[in-house]
Chains A and B, each alone.
Chain A
Amino acid sequence: EVQLVESGGGLVKPGGSLRLSCAASGFTFSSYSMNWVRQAPGKGLEWVSSISSSSSYIYYADSVKGRFTISRDNAKNSLYLQMNSLRAEDTAVYYCAREKDWFDPWGQGTLVTVSS
């Protein structure tokens, strides 16, 4: 069974940092691009970042560029999102999603709350 499990969310103060992880299983992780998508409370979906299978290509939404860093470790079947200089507007559930043209499947998400 293909499975994605996020972790690392929590409460952090504005200006702080957090590192999210996504553990993948049930498929050949190194063959797929991966993405982070977030959803603010009660709001819609926002694409955050994408990384190609070999980490050769990395992209960010303008809203996080320069503050967030996506990475992966294919040996550990894991995806990461390092989030620095966090702002209140970064508060959201963060999902990782496998990409093969489209996002399928998604993990269950991890909540990041940025508040003083």
Chain B
Amino acid sequence: EIVLTQSPATLSLSPGERATLSCRASQSVSSYLAWYQQKPGQAPRLLIYDASNRATGIPARFSGSGSGTDFTLTISSLEPEDFAVYYCQQRSNWPLYTFGQGTKLEIK
């Protein structure tokens, strides 16, 4: 099983600041990594797929980078609606998908 480890567990920032979230895989997943956003009481929403491609309708302030075992989700300037939990997911080991444990982005 490929284990995804996200850091930090919690990130406290203010609106307008830049957020950098990390996801590390226990073995290479190439570029087969996605990022999801989940707000309280809502289903997850696909943000980034194949490591660096924004999903339909996702604002340009969201960007993804990385390959192999180290990946980053960057939010260039935080908006109030961006405070949520973010999960990474790999499909390199299809169909045994795995998710990271999540990073909670909270308002400072």
Q: Which residues of A contact B (CB under 8 A)?
A: 35, 44-47, 50, 57, 59, 61, 95, 101-109
Contacts and interface: CB of A to CB of B under 8 A. Distances in A.
A108 B101 CA distance: 20
Interface centre among B44, B96, B98 (most CB of A within 10 A): B44
Contacts of B96: 47, 59, 61
Interface of B: 34, 36, 42-46, 49-50, 55, 87, 89, 91, 95-102
Nearest 9 A/B pairs, CB to CB: A106-B43, A104-B46, A47-B97, A59-B95, A45-B99, A102-B49, A102-B34, A44-B101, A50-B95
Contacts of B99: 44-47
A72 B42 CA distance: 24
Contacts of A102: 34, 46, 49, 55, 89, 91
B34 A109 contact: no
Nearest to A93: B43
Contacts, number: 53
A108 B43 contact: yes
A105 B87 contact: no
B95 A101 contact: no
Contacts of B95: 50, 57, 59
B10 to A, nearest CB: 14
B38 to A, nearest CB: 8
Contacts of B100: 44
